[in-house]
Each structure stands twice: as structure tokens, then as C-alpha cells.
């Protein structure tokens, strides 16, 4: 008998569809309340970090160069107080097979899908991950479908997303493009159910395990080149996988004193599910529209429990602006001869400011570069912004108003990160987690889980629960 394919019917079968498409039963890790066995979920991949490294090496992924940005470092020191201005380095992830760090996630997920006997893989993404999954699927001789939120209701696509669709198709994937709205998750589930393909989710434990090699390599590279661990590592924050995986890899390498900083473009005021505001963004990823929701409410993606849990690992969360990222993209090309895409340059724009807080002998590593292409260059992005009524000017980036203007720094001395209030985000995560208890009294296990999930302590969690009037 044919299954009903209306929205409510498909969404009602979501747990069953996701279980069948991952070969993993998330119920095995549930406690029946707020808590779940996160480390048990991560171990369920069955792969050690050495295993993942071997998987990635087979398809040309990983062991990318750690490049010192000497000219950008010199420029940062011009604006720092005497004796300050850390060495700025970047892991050149554009050298991976499809041109981004997402190859690390895809390599592990696709290899596992092939091992389990799936005929193809599917992923819901508008970013570089689609190209990574398509690339790895081609190498493994598997079919691939990418479901992409691409257009507004007028059929106009953001150039960066359109470029990524082109790359996915060039790598042999079938791309299903949708308008902005709730249909993305529905369509993803429906196609996954019909195809029987493996869910190569960004948020599965296989994807996060793939990123752990990045953090591990950063520590090992720094020890080999400089004889010590980096003082700071800066990660672009969107869905949380970069922060989570990199930090876990650093920990596995023993680099426990390294400060992990998350960085997003501040797009406060733009709603990500708004048709009218969809094309008002200058960059489609690495911004607060993804970064904050995924930090404070991680279990809302295409798996029942997300393995990307960035608040567990970040020491700071800072924001930069659209103009600073655009300017940094040009700076990287002009000063270092590296033409790279915008997502990695979000972390680099933040790093330029953060390096000035650290002494000259400190090492700051930016975790990624990414490939660039026709729609990802800053000129098509700026042209698209003008077409959508966005004012573009030089001035003070602090005057940037998302959806209204893009303010390019009048000079590099105007780069300045803003710190987000981590305690505010932690409170939000606790508030969003409590409904899972269905009104029941929270257990000691739940409290322990929330302490870990917010990287806080028992007193903090209990104080928030008291504010919310939640029993424990």
C-alpha cells in the first residue's frame, strides 16, 4: 500500500525515516527525558580518529597545509599595542577534494553508507557540504541527491547558493532546489523515504567524527612547526559542526589549553525563514541566523539528536560584520595571494581583531579556507546586494545594519569583534531543553547533561531552572 505523502503524514513518520536512513537507532541513547548519552552516540560510529584519518586519506581528504599569513600578521601588528599581534595561520582546507573542510565530514559519512550497503546518499544543505557529499559519492561509486533551499518566491536564487548547486551537479549529483520555508525538511524526508538512500547528515556522529581530524592535525602541525600548541583556534560558527569537531580533535591531541573561539557574521534582524529577507543576506552561511539557533537548540535538524553541540566546546563566541568579511576576502587575495571563499574568511576577519589581543609570540589558527567560484566571489555578492536595495559604502563597520547596508572598513584598524553573552545562550539552551521532560521532574542525570551541554556548572543550571520554575 502506498504511503501518504502529504506534509503531516511524512513529518509524522520522521523518526522512522531517519532511523532507517542512518542505520542507527537514536533510541539506544535516550534516557526518556532531557538527557541522552552523547558520548555513547559518538562512539557508536565504531571509528577511532585513526580509522577516520585512513578513510579520509583514501579520497584525498585531510592533511592540508597550515599556512602562516605573514603579511596579514604584519598588518594586524600595526594596529596592536607594542609587543602584541599573534601569528595568524590558516588551515588551507580548500585543498580538499571538493574545496572545503566539509570533505572531512562527507568522507566518513559516505564511506559508512557504502559499508552498510546503501546505493546512494542524500543531504539537505545549501552550503559546501553538498559539493563534498557529491564528490565523495562519485569517488565511492554511489548515487547522490542534494536538497537545497535556494530561491525566494520570485524564483531568484542567492548567487552563492546557485554556485554551490552548479558544483554539486558538476560532481554528478541530482540537485533538488526549493524555495525558502518549512518544505526543506519535508522534502528531504520524503525523498529519503522514496529513495532508501543513506542520510549523510551534517549533524550525525559520522559527520562530526570527520571534523575531529581537523583539530587533531592543527595541534600536531603547530607542534611540528612551532614546538607548541596554538594559543587560540578560531572557527566559523553556523551549524556547530566545525566548533564541535575541531575542539574534540584538539582534546584528543591533548591540546586542552587552547582557547576555542566561534565566529559568526552578525545578521541580527534578518529572519532566516522569511521569503522577503532571504536575499537580503550578503553571505549564506557562517552567520548568526544559523549560528545562534544551532548553538541554543541543536536538536532541530535532520537527526533526532545532533552530534554538533558547540556550546559544550566554545570558550568565546564573537561576531563580525558583512563588510569586514568582504574586506578580508579581498585582503587575503591581495596580501597573501590566496583567493578563497567567504565562509572561512568569517573566522579570518574575526581573527584579525583577536590577534591584536594576544602577544606576538602567540599562535592563532583559523581552521579553514574554502574554494571560491563564480557566485562566491565578493563582486557578484555585492552586485546582488545592490540589486536588492542594499547600500554599500566604506566607513565604520559598527554602522552595519543587516538587510539595509554593507559597510566596508575605511581602514583595517576598524576591524573589531563583538563578544556574545555566553550565559545568555546557555540560559536559552536550558529553556529550550526543558520541554523534553514533558512536565516531569528533572533528574540528576538531566542536570549533569545540561551542565555538560552548556559548559557551565550545577549551580548555574539550577539557578536557571529556578528562574523557569522547573522542578528537579
- Looking at the DSSP bridge assignments, the partners of residue 359 are 84
Interior/surface letters 214-227, b for 16+ CB within 10 angstroms, e for the rest: bbbbbbbbbeeeee
The pLDDT tens digits of the residues spanning 335-364 come to 999 999 888 999 999 999 999 999 999 999
| SS3 (DSSP) at 358 | coil
The pLDDT tens digits of the residues spanning 157-198 come to 889 999 999 999 999 999 999 988 778 888 999 999 999 999
Q: What cell numbers appear for 422 in the block?
A: 555566553
Q: Cα(80)–Cα(462) distance, rounded to whole angstroms?
A: 41
Candidates 187, 183, 185, 186; CA nearest to 174 is: 187
| Arithmetic mean of pLDDT, 202-209 | 95
**Does pLDDT of 1 surpass 60?**
no
Lowest mean pLDDT among 10-24, 307-321, 405-419: 10-24
pLDDT of residue 285: 82
Residue 275, Cβ neighbours under 10 Å: how many? 14
Give rounded-to-5 percent helix, strand, coil for the chain: 50, 15, 35
Q: How many Cα neighbours within 13 Å face the side chain of 201?
A: 27
**Does pLDDT of 126 surpass 90?**
no
The pLDDT tens digits of the residues spanning 234-273 come to 999 999 999 999 999 999 999 999 999 999 999 998 887 7
Residue labelled with grid coordinates 540589486:
387
| SS3 (DSSP) at 275 | coil
Lowest mean pLDDT among 277-281, 328-332, 464-468: 277-281
Residue labelled with grid coordinates 506534509:
7
Beta strands per DSSP E along 135-267: 143-151, 174-179, 198-199, 232-236, 259-265
pLDDT of residue 18: 86
Q: Cα(106)–Cα(374) distance, rounded to whole angstroms?
A: 23
Q: Which helix (H) or strand (E) holds 379?
A: helix 378-387
Q: Cα(272)–Cα(9) distance, rounded to whole angstroms?
A: 25
The pLDDT tens digits of the residues spanning 212-229 come to 999 999 999 999 999 999
Architecture of 56-97+211-419 per CATH? 3-Layer(aba) Sandwich (3.40)
Residues found in the chain: 472
Chain center to CA of 161: 16
* DSSP state, residue 96: S
- Averaged confidence pLDDT in the chain: 95
Candidates 183, 230, 204, 186; CA nearest to 361 is: 230
pLDDT of residue 442: 96
Our CA angle for 335, 337, 338, nearest 5°, is 110
pTM of the model: 0.96
Q: What cell numbers appear for 333 in the block?
A: 587575495
Torsion region of 20: left, alpha or beta (phi above 0 gives left; psi -120 to 50 gives alpha): alpha
Our CA angle for 133, 97, 317, nearest 5°, is 75
Per-domain boundaries in the chain: 56-97+211-419, 442-472
* DSSP state, residue 404: T
Residue labelled with grid coordinates 521532574:
441
Q: What cell numbers appear for 14 in the block?
A: 520522521
Q: What percent of the chain shows pLDDT beyond 70?
A: 100
Q: Cα(286)–Cα(419) distance, rounded to whole angstroms?
A: 16
pLDDT of residue 184: 83
The pLDDT tens digits of the residues spanning 26-74 come to 999 999 899 999 999 999 999 999 999 999 999 999 999 999 999 999 9
Q: What cell numbers appear for 282 in the block?
A: 550578503
Amino acid at each position: 500500500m502506498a504511503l501518504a505523502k502529504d506534509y503531516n503524514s511524512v513529518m509524522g513518520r520522521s523518526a522512522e525515516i531517519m532511523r532507517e536512513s542512518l542505520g542507527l537507532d537514536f533510541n539506544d541513547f535516550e534516557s526518556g527525558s532531557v538527557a541522552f548519552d552523547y558520548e555513547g552516540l559518538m562512539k557508536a560510529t565504531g571509528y577511532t580518529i585513526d580509522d577516520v584519518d585512513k578513510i579520509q586519506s583514501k579520497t584525498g581528504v585531510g592533511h592540508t597545509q597550515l599556512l602562516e599569513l605573514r603579511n596579514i600578521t604584519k598588518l594586524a601588528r600595526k594596529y596592536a599595542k607594542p609587543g602584541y599581534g599573534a601569528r595568524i595561520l590558516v588551515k588551507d582546507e580548500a585543498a580538499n577534494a571538493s574545496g572545503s573542510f566539509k570533505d572531512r565530514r562527507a568522507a566518513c559519512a559516505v564511506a559508512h553508507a557504502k559499508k552498510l550497503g546503501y546505493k546512494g546518499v542524500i543531504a539537505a544543505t545549501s552550503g559546501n557540504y553538498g559539493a563534498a557529499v557529491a564528490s565523495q559519492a562519485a569517488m565511492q561509486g554511489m548515487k547522490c541527491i542534494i536538497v537545497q533551499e535556494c530561491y525566494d518566491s520570485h524564483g531568484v536564487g542567492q548567487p552563492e547558493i546557485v554556485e554551490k548547486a552548479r558544483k554539486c551537479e558538476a560532481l554528478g549529483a541530482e540537485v533538488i532546489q526549493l524555495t525558502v520555508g518549512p518544505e526543506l525538511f519535508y522534502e528531504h524526508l520524503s525523498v529519503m523515504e522514496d529513495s532508501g538512500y543513506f542520510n549523510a547528515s551534517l549533524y550525525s556522529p559520522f559527520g562530526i567524527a570527520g571534523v575531529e581530524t581537523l583539530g587533531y592535525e592543527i595541534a600536531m602541525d603547530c607542534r611540528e612547526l612551532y614546538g607548541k600548541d596554538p594559543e587560540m583556534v578560531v572557527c566559523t560558527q553556523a551549524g556547530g559542526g566545525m566548533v564541535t569537531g575541531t575542539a574534540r580533535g584538539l582534546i584528543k591531541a591533548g591540546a586542552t589549553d587552547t582557547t576555542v573561539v566561534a565566529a559568526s557574521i552578525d545578521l541580527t534582524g534578518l529572519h532566516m525563514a522569511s521569503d522577503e529577507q532571504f536575499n537580503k543576506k550578503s553571505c549564506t552561511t557562517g552567520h548568526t541566523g544559523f549560528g545562534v539557533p544551532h548553538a541554543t537548540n541543536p536538536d532541530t535538524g535532520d537527526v533526532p539528536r545532533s552530534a554538533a553541540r558547540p556550546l559544550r566546546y566554545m570558550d568565546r563566541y564573537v561576531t563580525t560584520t558583512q563588510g569586514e568579511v568582504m574586506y578580508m576576502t579581498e585582503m587575503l587575495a591581495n596580501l597573501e595571494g590566496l583567493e578563497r571563499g567567504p565562509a572561512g574568511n568569517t573566522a579570518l576577519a574575526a581573527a584579525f581583531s583577536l590577534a591584536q589581543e594576544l602577544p606576538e609570540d602567540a599562535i592563532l589558527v583559523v581552521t579553514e579556507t574554502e574554494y571560491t567560484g563564480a557566485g562566491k566571489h565578493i563582486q557578484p555578492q555585492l552586485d546582488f546586494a545592490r540589486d536588492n536595495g542594499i547600500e554599500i559604502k566604506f566607513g565604520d563597520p559598527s554602522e552595519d545594519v543587516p538587510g539595509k547596508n554593507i559597510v566596508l572598513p575605511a581602514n583595517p584598524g576598524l576591524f573589531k569583534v563583538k563578544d556574545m553573552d555566553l550565559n545568555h545562550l546557555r540560559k536559552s539552551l536550558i529553556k529550550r531543553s526543558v520541554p523534553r521532560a514533558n512536565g516531569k521532574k528533572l533528574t540528576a542525570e538531566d542536570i549533569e547533561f545540561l551542565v555538560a551541554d552548556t559548559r557551565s556548572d550545577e549551580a548555574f543550571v539550577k539557578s536557571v531552572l529556578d528562574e523557569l520554575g522547573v522542578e528537579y
